[in-house]
Structure 1
Amino acid sequence: MDRNDFAERITQSVDGLPGQLGAAARYVLDNPGDVALLSMREQARRAGVRPWTMTRLAKRLGLDGYDNVRQLHGEALKEQALGFSGRASAQLARQKQEGGGALGAEMAGTMAAQIAAMAAPARIEVLAGAARDMAAARRIYCFGLRSGRPVASHLAYVLSFLGDKTVLLDGDGGAGLDALRFAGAGDIFFVATVSPYTRASVEAARFAADKGLVVVAITDSAASPVAPVARHVIVAATESPSFFHAMAPAFAAAEILAALVAGEGGESALEAIARAEEHLAERKVHLHERPQPPEPR
């Protein structure tokens, strides 16, 4: 279990935790830096609970004690402090020792396991809930920057087969979030962002939530800074033996989400997809040439 797994476990159980346990859980979720750096007693004081409540919380969530909670958060903080260059140094040293094949195989296995984890009932329930809201919305605004941008762009492209209600918010020309001036309560703001979180993505999600939009986030942790403003937090793991975080799980989540939105659309979705396919055929967008048989010798 890593810090992100632990944060997700807290998120799934926090509403059912009584009294001081609930207060302690919310403190841990909202203050990951304090958990890594402050003593248990100081954390308990700040959370407004008794010190032994922190230990009870750790055991309630499957750990031996609160030192394990602090260790998980300390490792995450250390990993973040390393940055891309620090992780690159570790990767290069390991690749030199074990070979590129071993690293590549581990990366493939790690990503396969992360994508398979999407099938967990709790995660599918979040995806299905987000899809229902997205299918019912008047507009869906998709936003992502840096590594989150292709995820948002891919989702917007797939949803474009279902009609014209999906808008990809683009920064080209400095327009940025200008299209949100037409947005209102009940519309969807989809955002993709993972650690190290892009400040503009977090601020955009907060802005959309303040306008009354329903925020759907694909992110890497239930403790992500976009989580507090999101109605639907879709967690996609990013841990990788590479110097760079893995985005394949986020793409998988986006593709599942798009498929579920299409399913919620019923016959109207089928009609829209047929129209899109007819349009592409008329413009000869896709190459459908038959392979030529080999010439006789």
Structure 2
Amino acid sequence: MDTDKRTTRRKAVSSDETKAPDTIGTAPRSVDGLRELIVRIGRDEAGVSLGGKAHTVLARLLERPEEVAVRTITDLATALDVNASTLTRLSTKLGYAGFADFQSVFRDSLAQRHRHFYTHQAERLVSGQKTREHGGARPEGSPEVDVVAQLARESIGNVEAFLARLSPVDLRCAATLLGDAPRVRVHGLRQFSALASFLCYGLGMIRTDVALLDAQGLGVAEGLAQLQRGDVVVVTSVAPYTRSVAEAAAAAADAGMTVIAITDTLASPLVPPARHAFLIPHESSFFSNSMGAYLIFCEGLLNLVATHLGERSLEALSRRERLITTLGIERD
């Protein structure tokens, strides 16, 4: 009777659960390999089968490789609305020693992608050009227009992606901080120095005491030394991250300043020290980081700051206009 009960319990296990591991040592060692594996599993060509629930969980993990690389098993399980044990069973079913081994694939792939980011982007661009030259472009289009149109569509996709996960609370709090803080400093280097300058210029139009953190070229330490607790430091960088920007963010938070990060994923080193972090994707065929979605986000954030300041922003803009007229800066 006891044997019958145990047999019944085993048969009652949901088909959504993974079966016992039988593929240890055969697991893919790259995220691309995992993507190929899930396709083969779906076609019943992989020699390993997953229940419906496990298959869905694996697909969702592959949609967010940066998060899988850095989040704990508990955090991931909560985000996916499953038990942590489900992730462990999935890992062993796929041939990994455990979840840590499975996660190492994502960490290694993320590190590898960061090391060769620009080359990888350029290779995609060149590969796409060769495809168009061999008949891949739409007949009614021109190769030149197609390149621009593709970038535009990709930027639209990035904008839609960040809009879908924007937090109204974070936006409202960030706008309030940027409007009311005694001092605001903005920091971004390399390509993102342009975004930092744009955000700094926009804030300077509607409030006082806004500057780039290292505006005078004296170094980040000197810039932070001019700030006090309660001041705001905005930092921006995306993969492959600029080490000194991440270090400046951590130093600012340690010194009591409020950090706002404009970055790409939860894997970003700018996220931990930030009170508010805004995650903007930059998936694109551009040979470097795509900036379109970042500029749109910053324009929206600036509008929210101006709205929060109300009459104060109007007065600042009016004063600016008077000075421009007095100095004859603009032509009619």
Q: Report SS of the residue matched to 1:221.
A: coil
Asked whether 1:52 is paired with 2:96, we answer: no
Deviations along 1:233-252, one digit per CA (max 9) or x if unpaired, are: 01111111122110121122
Deviations along 1:140-195, one digit per CA (max 9) or x if unpaired, are: 11111011111111111011112322121236543444132121111100011111
Is contact 1:191-1:217 (8 Å) kept?
yes
Alpha carbons of structure 1 residues 2 and 111: separation in structure 2 relative to 1, 3 Å:
farther
Distance 1:136 1:80 in 2: 36
Read off the aligned partner of 2:172 and give its amino acid letter.
A
Asked whether 1:160 is paired with 2:193, we answer: no
Deviations along 1:110-159, one digit per CA (max 9) or x if unpaired, are: 10121233433634442222111222211111111011111111111011
The residue number in structure 1 matching 2:314 is 270
The residue number in structure 2 matching 1:90 is 124
Is contact 1:21-1:54 (8 Å) kept?
no
Q: Which has the larger radius of gyration?
A: 2
Is contact 1:216-1:231 (8 Å) kept?
yes
Q: Report SS of the residue matched to 1:149.
A: helix
Is contact 2:232-2:258 (8 Å) kept?
yes
Distance 2:68 2:179 in 1: 28
Asked whether 1:220 is paired with 2:264, we answer: yes
| 277, 280, 290: which one aligns with 1:233 | 277
Read off the aligned partner of 1:130 and give its amino acid letter.
A
Quote the offset at 1:87 in angstroms: 2.7
Asked whether 1:144 is paired with 2:144, we answer: no
TM-score by length of 1: 0.73
Is contact 2:69-2:103 (8 Å) kept?
no
Give the percent of matched residue pairs that are identical in Structure 1 and Structure 2.
Answer: 30
Is contact 1:2-1:72 (8 Å) kept?
no
Distance 2:111 2:61 in 1: 12
Read off the aligned partner of 1:112 and give its amino acid letter.
I
Aligned pairs (5 A) from 1:1-297? 5=64, 21-22=74-75, 52-55=85-88, 76-98=110-132, 99-120=143-164, 122-170=166-214, 172-288=216-332
Alpha carbons of structure 1 residues 250 and 80: separation in structure 2 relative to 1, 3 Å:
same
Alpha carbons of structure 1 residues 183 and 160: separation in structure 2 relative to 1, 3 Å:
same
Distance 1:194 1:206 in 2: 16
Equivalenced residue count is: 253
Is contact 2:66-2:106 (8 Å) kept?
no
Distance 1:73 1:90 in 2: 22
TM-score by length of 2: 0.66
Is contact 1:114-1:236 (8 Å) kept?
yes
Q: Report SS of the residue matched to 2:331.
A: coil
Distance 1:193 1:113 in 2: 20
Q: Flag structure 2 segments of 5+ consecutive residues without an equivalent.
A: 1-59, 92-98, 133-142
Alpha carbons of structure 1 residues 282 and 160: separation in structure 2 relative to 1, 3 Å:
same
Quote the offset at 1:93 in angstroms: 2.4
Quote the offset at 1:3 in angstroms: 6.8
Q: Report SS of the residue matched to 1:229.
A: coil
- The structure carrying a bigger helix percent of its residues is 1
Quote the offset at 1:81 in angstroms: 3.9
